[in-house]
Amino acid sequence: MKKAIEQLTEEQLIEVKRQMNIYNQGVQEIIPTEELELKVAKSVLEKRPLKIKLGLDPSAPDVHLGHTVVLKKIKQFQDNGHIIQLLIGDFTGKIGDPTGKSVARKQLTDDEVKYNAKTYFEQFGKIVDMEKVELHYNSKWLAKLNFEDVIQLAGKITVARLMERDDFEERIALGKPISLHEFFYPLMQGYDSVVLESDIELGGTDQHFNILMGRHFQEKFGKEKQIAMLMPLLEGLDGVEKMSKSKKNYIGIDESPQEMYGKAMSIPDELMNKYLELITDLTPEQIDFLKEDLELGKLHPRDAKMLLAKTIVRMYHGLEDAEKAEQHFISVFQKGTVPDEIPVIEWQGANEMPVINLLVELKLLSSKSEARRMIKNNGVKLNGNRVEDTDLQVAISDGLIVQVGKRKFVKIKK
């Protein structure tokens, strides 16, 4: 492959450098780095697009900003004429967890898989050009494997290699059981790359082991090895855990402009640069400019975050909605007033009741203990007045405004 670079014209070489410059943006790790340039060079020389694989779990199709880190990278490849292979791991999804221990991995039906895939694509369409994307379902080849094929596949990897995976290693150290079938998930992901003949596989850094399985099995099957391109994981609104639906620390790309703006304003300050770099469409130059102004004190951190929030809303809802969301935020949260539009609830219950019961009845909180905690944390207001007594008895009148936290409002209609 080395020869590809040597054969390039001056113009082609510049093109390779141009693409490499883009692909390197915001990446955490490329394994092995030197091979990516060779692949790109070969692609330019032979005018052959590269195949970029992205695997998707069909069980949780709500796309949030965490996903967009990888989607942005995909868009870059797509803009340069490469082929995107979206792989729906439906085989895994249809199997479920044979031990029955994991609730998360319950068995999906064909219809659920199809519905979830469709959900993904509708959302992906906001970032990448879905018409230029290849869709693959791994059940197409995995479901056809018989026991003999599986044994041939298993013969190409050692137990020791599989146990190197971080979470396996950890569970072994803690004496927690690993069910043998779990060893097959990395095998499947690796075998998918063999079938798809992928040149590059994209994923978060938590996919390090699984993506390298692709290289391993491609080599064992005598194919050219893919490059692992690992993107940083985006911490969620809590500033600690990886953004994910199950942690409830996410901003979904299908959320309303107001919700999105409000959530974006709660991004921890120390993560602001990372968000700007990884999930906005601002250029590296624009971001550097913002950072500089922040450092010099020319820009207030709150204003920078408002700019980030507005940018995010603009990307998914357009400029007009972004500006409205900003106005809404300013009026409610900065001026401390109640928003114009509050959900109205037709009240048919008792005329008075304890405040914690009311909060649960209105579905503002899910349990009495949660309601009690929220009151203790000064998070509940009635008609703008903070509730301080968890045993408060409330007279429920027409027009009563109940507020929980900063953004949840309900108006009673009797």
Binding residues: 245
* Neighbour tally for 287: CB within 10 Å: 14
**Contact track, a second copy, 186-225, x by CB under 8 A:** -x--------------------------------------
Phi, psi for residue 228 in degrees, rounded to 5: -90, 120
Q: Is the CB of 143 or the CB of 344 nearer to a second copy?
A: 143
What is the pairing mode between strands 352-354 and 227-231? unpaired
Binding residues for ATP: 245
Least Cβ distance, residue 190 to a second copy (angstroms):
12
Residue 95 Cβ, how far from a second copy at the closest point, in Å? 6
Q: Which of 11, 47, 131, 155 binds a second copy (CB under 8 A)?
A: 155
Stretch that binds a second copy, among 180-188, 224-232, 282-290, 378-386 (CB under 8 A): 180-188
Are 274 and 65 a contacting pair, CB within 8 Å? no
Question: 110, 149, 167, 281: which one contacts a second copy (CB under 8 A)?
Answer: 149
Provide the minimum distance between the beta carbon of 149 and a second copy in the complex, in angstroms, as a whole number: 8
Non-local CB neighbours of 157 within 8 Å, separated by 6+ positions: 187, 213, 216, 217, 220
Between CA 88 and CA 165 the distance in angstroms is 22
Among 6, 11, 147, 391, binds a second copy (CB under 8 A): 147
| Residues 240-248: contacts with CB under 8 Å, at least 24 apart | 242/66, 242/204, 242/206, 243/64, 243/65, 243/66, 244/64, 244/66, 245/60, 245/62, 245/64, 246/60, 246/104
Nearest residue to 2 (alpha-carbon basis) of 32, 33, 42: 42
Residue 150 near a second copy by CB under 8 A = yes
The yes or no reply on residue 102 touching a second copy (CB under 8 A) is no
Among 23, 121, 124, 184, the residue binding a second copy under the rule CB under 8 A is: 184
Which of 156, 328 has the CB closer to a second copy? Answer: 156
Q: Taking CB under 8 A as the rule, does residue 95 contact a second copy? A: yes
Taking the CB of residue 233, how many other CB atoms lie within 10 A of it? 18
Give the Cα-Cα-Cα angle 86, 59, 171 (nearest 5 degrees).
100
Q: Which stretch binds a second copy (CB under 8 A): 110-118, 141-149, 336-344, 359-367?
A: 141-149
Is the Cα dihedral 371, 375, 377, 381 positive or negative? positive
Footprint on residues 34-93 left by a second copy (CB under 8 A): 91
Instruction: Choose between 150 and 396: whose C-beta lies nearer to a second copy.
Output: 150
Half-sphere exposure of residue 74: CA atoms within 13 angstroms, side-chain side: 27
The span of 49-57, 109-117, 158-166, 381-389 binding a second copy (CB under 8 A) equals 158-166
Structure-block tokens of residue 208: 């390090």
Binding residues (CB under 8 A) for a second copy: these are 91, 94-95, 97-99, 142-160, 162-163, 172, 177-184, 187
